[in-house]
Amino acid sequence: MRPGRIAGIARSLAIYYGIPLRARRLSRFYAPFVARGTLCFDIGAHAGNRVRCWRALGARVVAIEPQPDFVRILEGLFGNDPEVSIVPVAVGREEGASELLVSERTPTVTTLSRDWIERVGATPSFRGVQWQTGPTVPVTTLDALIARFGVPAFVKIDVEGLELAVLEGLSRPVPALSFEYLPAARDIALGCIDRLAALGRYSFNWSVGETHRLAEPAWLDAGAMRERLVALPDDARSGDVYARRADAG
C-alpha cells in the first residue's frame, strides 16, 4: 500500500475514532431514529463509526462501502458480528459497475462522479485534494438492497455527489434517512428533497458539519428546507439533511 494511502486511512480512523466523547454524542443524536431491533443502512460506511453507534443502540446494520481498503477495515471491526452485513458495492440509480475516483490522502471524498469533482475541486474546501482513477466496483440500488435485506428504519447516504442518484434508485418511501449537502453543489441536495417529496410526505431538518445537532427546533416542510439550503453561501460548511415521514411524529 502506498504511503499516501496509508496516511489517508490513518486520517480517517483518527477523525472517526480518535475524538473523545464522539461515540456518546453520536448515540444521543441517533437514538430518536434508531431503535433496538430495527434495520439501518449505512451507504458509504467508510470506517464504520455509524455502524458502531447503531449496533450500540441495538440495531441490525447493513454497511455498504465500495472502497476495498475500508471494506477490509469493516470486516476487521464487524466481521464476526452476525447483526452486521458488509456489502462491498457502491449504490446508484441503476445496477451495473463504475470506476471509483479515489483520493488517497482524503479517502472520505472518494466518489463515482467526475462532474462532482469538477464542481467542488476548485472550491477552497477542496483545494489541494487530488483524485486518481481507482478500481471498477459493482453498483447496486436501494430497491435491490431492500429486496435483499428488508425495509430499513433509517438510511444514511454519504456518497460524495451521488446522493440524488441513490434516491433515484428508490421507488418507495422509507421511515427516515439522511443525505449529505455541500453548498457548492447544493442542487444535488435540492434534487434529493424533491425526490423524497415525490415518494411521500416528509419533514426535514439539518445538521452542520459533524456537530450532530439538529439546526431547527421544529421540523420543516420541503419548501422551508429548500429555502435554508438556497440561502447558504457557497463557502458555508457542508452537513447533512435529515428527513422523516411526516406521520412519524
Average pLDDT of adjacent 10-residue blocks, the chain of 249 residues: 58 58 86 97 94 96 95 95 98 97 86 91 83 95 98 97 97 97 95 97 95 95 98 93 82
The span from the CA of 138 to the CA of 243, in Å, is 27
**pLDDT given at position 2:** 61
Q: Which domain covers residue 52, as residue numbers?
A: 3-248
Cβ atoms of residues 46 and 16 within 8 Å = yes
**pLDDT given at position 234:** 87
Phi, psi for residue 206 in degrees, rounded to 5 = -150, 160
Cβ atoms of residues 194 and 221 within 8 Å = no
Number of domains in the chain: 1
DSSP state of 220: B
**pLDDT given at position 249:** 45
The span from the CA of 158 to the CA of 46, in Å, is 9
CATH number of the domain within which 17 lies: 3.40.50.150
**pLDDT given at position 7:** 59
**pLDDT given at position 126:** 84
The span from the CA of 129 to the CA of 18, in Å, is 22
From residue 172, give the alpha-carbon distance in Å to each of 89, 110, 199, 236.
21, 28, 6, 32
